[in-house]
Amino acid sequence: MKNTREKKLVVVTGASSGIGLALVKALLLQGYAVLGIANNFEKAGLSHPDFRSRSINLADLDTLEESLSALLSEIDMPLKALINNAGIGRMGFLEQLSVKDIRLVMDINLTSQVIVTKAFLPLLKKQREGDILFMGSEAALKGARQGSIYCASKFAVRGFSQALREECGKSGVRVTLINPGAVRTPFFDKLQFEPGLAPENAIEPEDIASAVSMVLAARQGTVFDEITLSPRNHVWKKKDA
Ligand SMILES: NC(=O)c1ccc[n+]([C@@H]2O[C@H](COP(=O)([O-])OP(=O)(O)OC[C@H]3O[C@@H](n4cnc5c(N)ncnc54)[C@H](OP(=O)(O)O)[C@@H]3O)[C@@H](O)[C@H]2O)c1
């Protein structure tokens, strides 16, 4: 990636779909270069001179550090922000969840984010400025039935982000957690429920992009610790069997 126009780079995980894709589009419009990470970008159908995508399976924790160090060596422009957004949901009563799914949720929603953050942190600290954002959830704030493992992963991300904020303040790096309620995205494709159909039953991914833009634009001396967004009228709809 060549620093031809003095651009700043934002790295977005989970950039191929939903919230991440909306973030990429908004950031490109704002003049950032964007490096997206996800499994598969075919569905995103996004082509832009300032957008690069890297297919990395964040669940493959054994190879993740190596993949990230290759990616870091390609970066030759200032890093404005790392947005840890990739995540999955596996919902159900605890006895219904397989150990495989439990591990997958924790690996993707928590451990991969810790490893990605650890990889990018030295660069951000060296610059003495930059933002690290995490996509938490309302599930990071309150436990809910059939959400035990998802909530556990998001509560953990919240604890991690709070501690990291304390660790990073003196070095100029800001840490922000975004906690959305239901957002209308393909996240629900594999779940048995989804937000109600009315516009006020779900947040749109572009609303999250607006919140992120506000975080990035804030005066350097100020940090948004957490932003919680909710649909005005929370309604969940069971999908037909
Ligand atoms: N939708 C909601 O209601 C809601 C509410 C609160 C918080 N969130 C959080 O928001 C974040 C984004 O979710 P979304 O709603 O935008 O869902 P989404 O449309 O399903 O997008 C999830 C993204 O994560 C990526 N991802 C998943 N597993 C991955 C892996 N193993 N390796 C690399 N990338 C992986 C996906 O890439 P591939 O498709 O290429 O695998 C995709 O780009 C998640 O952390 C989610 O927990 C969502």
Would you give per-residue pLDDT tens digits along the chain (241 residues)?
545 558 999 999 999 999 999 999 999 999 999 999 999 999 999 999 999 999 999 999 999 999 999 999 999 899 999 999 999 999 999 999 999 999 999 999 999 999 999 999 999 999 999 999 999 999 999 999 999 999 999 999 999 999 999 999 999 999 999 999 999 999 999 999 999 999 999 999 999 999 999 999 999 999 999 999 999 999 999 998 6
**Is 128 part of any domain?**
yes
**Is 3 part of any domain?**
no
- In the set 41, 134, 150, 160, the catalytic residue is 150
Number of H helices, E strands in the chain: 6, 9
CA distance 13 to 130: 16
**Is 210 part of any domain?**
yes
Residue 203 carries which DSSP code?
B
Write down the pTM of the prediction.
Answer: 0.97
Residue 197 carries which DSSP code?
S
**Is 2 part of any domain?**
no
What is the per-residue DSSP string for 173-187? EEEEEEEES-B-SGG
The protein residue whose alpha carbon is closest to atom 20 in ligand 1 is 187
Count of the separate structural domains present in the chain: 1
CATH classification of the domain holding 108: 3.40.50.720
Containing structural domain, residue 43: 9-238
- How far, rounded to the nearest angstrom, does the alpha carbon of residue 80 sit from its chain's CA centroid? 15
With a 6 Å cutoff on the Cβ, whether 223 touches ligand 1 is no
**Is 18 part of any domain?**
yes
Asked if 150 is an active-site residue, the reply is: yes
CA distance 228 to 232: 12
Burial track 110-126 (b if 16+ CB lie within 10 A, e otherwise): bbbbebbbebbbeebbe
Element (H, E) at 10: strand 9-13
State which of 35, 117, 187, 203 you would mutate to test the pocket of ligand 1, scoring each by most atoms of that ligand within 8 A of its C-beta: 187
CA distance 142 to 154: 10
**Is 95 part of any domain?**
yes
**Is 23 part of any domain?**
yes
Instruction: Write out the two tokens for 130.
Output: 């930059």
Ligand 1 centroid to Cα of residue 84, in Å, is 10
With a 6 Å cutoff on the Cβ, whether 231 touches ligand 1 is no
**Is 4 part of any domain?**
no
Torsion of CA 191, 196, 199, 202, to 10 degrees: -50
Instruction: Write out the two tokens for 50.
Output: 């300032």
Instruction: Write out the two tokens for 132.
Output: 């690290």
